[in-house]
Amino acid sequence: MRGMVEFKVKAAHYINKINTHIIPVRFEYYEPKTIEEAVELLAKYKGEAKILAGGTDLLVAMKQRLVEPKIIINIKKIKELRFIEDRGDYLAIGATTRLREIEKNPIVKERFPALYEAVKAMAGTQIRNMATIGGNLCNASPAADTAPPLIVYEAKVKIVGPRGERIVPVEKFFKWVKKTVLEPDELLAEIIIPYHPPNTGSAFIKIARTAMDLAKVNVAVALRVDDNNVIEWIRVALGSVAPTPVRAPSVEKALEGKEFKLETIEEASKLVVNDISPITDIRSTAEYRREVSKVIVRDALIRAYNRIKGR
């Protein structure tokens, strides 16, 4: 009898922490059809509700009992949240647009190659068919692959809630690991990515243990050079090397106004260590992250520059 009790206790522990097929909590489930309905539900159940988009982060967390929401609001039936639209000065992407749709979009591939490369490097096709760009940002993993490209493109997010709309730069959206500026009654509706002039080049590089894994380190860069190859504007952002995705101002400052030369790029890339605070975890060590950051910043800058030159 005692053996059976011990077995049940062990089994419960095993199911809750490891078995990823079972969600062991009860919740109420809603499927609003409009943003307005979703916001009403969020306001009503403030703090108790969780938004479900693709579920590729949330359901894993629920199965592991890391989060146990009483209310689930599935926003995937809201048509007005799923689009990719050219709006003249900028490209707008709805929050529930699937990663696979972004990967297949010709404007993204042509005008925002760092975002294209980031999405392409995420998980496998099945996950990309379900996962959304809004979910990737709102989950606020330091390793979120879409964050560094959106930061270097100076993208903004449109947030909607009972008090109306607000626009926040993606760079300011993340507060800490798994924490964003979203209030419990707000949702992310749209991502706004400004178009950059034609003499802009950009690139994304990710180092991961396997193709399906989160990044040990990822980096996105964007830069513009003038006719004399002088860097007139540059942005560098990295993921998985701090509690949130971060810019690398030391590298940017060292390169802005300088001619694009390999030696200069090599030296400036080493300065990235001043801007990051990596930790050792299951994916990598702090030392490796520091060393490889220098290398991928350099390589991404060269790749972005080659793109400007049409190579």
Ligand X SMILES: Cc1cc2nc3c(=O)[nH]c(=O)nc-3n(C[C@H](O)[C@H](O)[C@H](O)COP(=O)(O)OP(=O)(O)OC[C@H]3O[C@@H](n4cnc5c(N)ncnc54)[C@H](O)[C@@H]3O)c2cc1C
Strand partners, 49: 71
Residue position matching structure tokens 């090397």: 241
Instruction: Check binding of 58 to ligand X (CB under 6 A).
Output: yes
Q: Write the interaction track for ligand X spanning residues 115-134; mark x where CB under 6 A is met and - where it is not.
A: -------xx---x--xxx-x
Instruction: Check binding of 157 to ligand X (CB under 6 A).
Output: no
Instruction: Check binding of 212 to ligand X (CB under 6 A).
Output: yes
Give 32 or 55: the residue with its C-beta nearer to ligand X: 55
Give 216 or 224: the residue with its C-beta nearer to ligand X: 216
Give 250 or 284: the residue with its C-beta nearer to ligand X: 284
Q: Write the interaction track for ligand X spanning residues 13-52; mark x where CB under 6 A is met and - where it is not.
A: -------------------------------------xxx
DSSP 56-85: TTHHHHHHTTS---SEEEE-TT-GGG--EE
Instruction: Check binding of 78 to ligand X (CB under 6 A).
Output: no
Give 64 or 264: the residue with its C-beta nearer to ligand X: 64
Closest distance to ligand X from the beta carbon of 112 (Å)? 16
Instruction: Check binding of 55 to ligand X (CB under 6 A).
Output: yes
Of 71, 95, 219, 223, which lies in the binding site for ligand X, with binding defined by CB under 6 A?
95
Angle between helices 286-308 and 262-270 (to 10 degrees): 150
93: which 2 tokens? Answer: 């992407």
Instruction: Check binding of 200 to ligand X (CB under 6 A).
Output: no
Q: Are strands 71-74 and 28-30 parallel, antiparallel or unpaired?
A: parallel
Beta carbons of 237 and 220 less than 8 angstroms apart: yes
Of 53, 151, 152, 220, which lies in the binding site for ligand X, with binding defined by CB under 6 A?
53
Range list of β-strands (E), the chain: 28-30, 49-52, 71-74, 84-86, 90-94, 156-161, 164-169, 174-176, 179-180, 187-194, 200-208, 215-225, 231-239, 246-247
CB atoms within 10 A of CB 306: 12
**How many chain residues touch ligand X (CB under 6 A)?**
31
Picking from 150, 154, 148, 153, the residue whose alpha carbon sits closest to that of residue 220 is 148
Coil, strand or helix at 223: strand
Give 72 or 203: the residue with its C-beta nearer to ligand X: 72
Of 91, 188, 203, 221, which lies in the binding site for ligand X, with binding defined by CB under 6 A?
188
Instruction: Check binding of 102 to ligand X (CB under 6 A).
Output: no
Interacting span for ligand X (CB under 6 A) from 29-37, 54-62, 102-110, 281-289: 54-62
Closest distance to ligand X from the beta carbon of 131 (Å)? 3
Query: Dihedral angle at the C-alpha atoms of 97, 103, 107, 112, nearest 10 degrees?
Result: 100
Q: Residue 65: what are its φ and ψ, rounded to 5°?
A: 60, 30
Q: Footprint of ligand X on this chain (CB under 6 A)? A: 50-58, 60, 75, 95, 122-123, 127, 130-132, 134-136, 138-139, 143-145, 182, 187-188, 212, 214
